[in-house]
Amino acid sequence: MRVVRPGDVIVIPAGVAHKNLGASADFRVVGAYPRGQHPDLCTGKPGERPQADRRIARVPLPEQDPVYGPGGPLIAHWPAPAAP
């Protein structure tokens, strides 16, 4: 487990399960989605996985790194989406 410190940014790609297991009172989360996208919450119910995997594979690359902008390092580390 990692400790998040002031100024840290965590980008959680589509398909990565995540949960806050505890935080200090001054911890804040900002959720943001690219234009035209919205949360697609799966909770582990039977039958969710095959369709969820297909939707995750089609998530497009971000237009730019949300922290550093165009040319930022995130894009180089983000896998290209699967063909529809």
Residues 6+ apart with CB under 8 A from 61: 75, 78, 80, 81
Say if pTM beats, i.e. exceeds, 0.95. no
21-78 pLDDT, tens per residue?
888 888 888 877 777 888 888 888 899 988 988 888 888 778 888 889 988 888 888 7
C-alpha torsion 21→24→25→31, nearest 10: -50
Q: Where are the domains of the chain?
A: 1-77
